[in-house]
Amino acid sequence: MEPICPVCHIGRLQPRVMSYVRWLGDRLLVVNQVPAVVCDVCGERAYDDRAMQHLQRLLMMSNVDAAVTSRPYYLA
């Protein structure tokens, strides 16, 4: 059984694979196939912590001055 959404307290968090999209200054970062969970009622979503940490490391190695942010991953 999927966990209950911590935002609406009604929906269930469903595992999904989504795109992570974020502006980095004047550049748009799009990363496809990022593991996440999405509430089936309110649409609240959270990206996988490990995927976000990996993305942050890649950006640091590329000298991109940006912090990758996401809400907590509720299935971790």
Read off the pLDDT of residues 14-52 as tens digits, 9 standing for 90 and up: 999 999 988 877 888 899 999 999 999 999 999 999 999
Q: Identify the pLDDT of residue 6.
A: 93
CATH number, domain containing residue 4 = 3.10.20.860
Query: For position 76, what pLDDT does the model report?
Result: 45
Q: How many angstroms separate the CA atoms of 63 and 42, rounded?
A: 36
| Residue span of the structural domain in which 59 resides | 1-76
Number of domains in the chain: 1
The answer to whether the predicted template modeling score (pTM) of the entire model surpasses 0.85 is no
End-to-end CA separation in angstroms for the chain: 15
- CB-count exposure of residue 49 (10 Å: 0-12, 13-18, 19+): middle
